[in-house]
Amino acid sequence: MTTVSIHMPENLGLSGFTLFLRKTSDGTIVNTGGDTLTESPASSGRFTADVAESWAETLAAAVLDGNGLAVRDGWLAVGETVVVDAYPAVPVAFATATVSTSSTTTSVTTSACSPAGAAADQFKGRVIIFGNSTTTTALRGCAALITASSNSATPTFTLAAALPTSPVSGDTFVIA
């Protein structure tokens, strides 16, 4: 469960709001039925909702009042808990890579990497991001933190959290 917050000073002291989150890739609702927003602390203009679902891409956020009218919108980036007005900046790609065979949800092998790996843990602390054109549809928009990389021109990346499915040979991603 993640507590998501949104600042709505124009709704100070009001209640009856619901937060809806949609995938930017296909528009599907992530939190079916929405999540109730509660002003916390009281009369602060800061509203929070407990969201049970997880997300692997930037989400479009909409706040509806009790009549179903949109009173606020914004964006919720991967790994963030605050809805913001501006679309999150896209990270600059540091490297690009192509998946090889035998990858798992937490270990990604590569057949190509540019720039080539030259030292163990060279990519540690960076993030793998699968784009919209990668072969495996379930990986599109997914991101994962790299906790280790092998000393190889085509490194193997160890990930902090499991991907939703194993990448296949030919999948592509950027490293930011």
The pLDDT value given to residue 91 = 58
The pLDDT value given to residue 131 = 84
**Distance of alpha carbon 13 from its chain centroid, rounded?**
31
Provide mean pLDDT across the span 46-67: 92
The pLDDT value given to residue 92 = 63
16: CB partners within 8 A, 6+ apart:
65, 66
The pLDDT value given to residue 33 = 92
Domain boundary assignment for the chain: 2-76, 95-175
Decide if domain 2-76 falls under CATH 2.60.40: yes
Which long-range contacts link 34-38 to residues 24+ away (Cβ below 8 Å)? 34/64, 35/4, 37/6, 37/63
Q: How many CB atoms lie within 10 A of CB 52?
A: 9
Answer whether 0.75 is exceeded by the pTM: no
Torsion of CA 123, 128, 135, 26, to 10 degrees: -170
The pLDDT value given to residue 148 = 94
pLDDT of residue 27 exceeding 80, the answer is: yes
pLDDT band at 77 (very low <50, low <70, confident <90, very high): confident
The pLDDT value given to residue 95 = 87
Q: How far apart are CA 148 and CA 122, in angstroms?
A: 8
Provide mean pLDDT across the span 16-30: 90
Provide mean pLDDT across the span 123-140: 88
The pLDDT value given to residue 171 = 95
Segment 132-162, tens digit of pLDDT: 788 999 998 888 889 999 999 999 999 988 9
First to last CA, the chain: 27
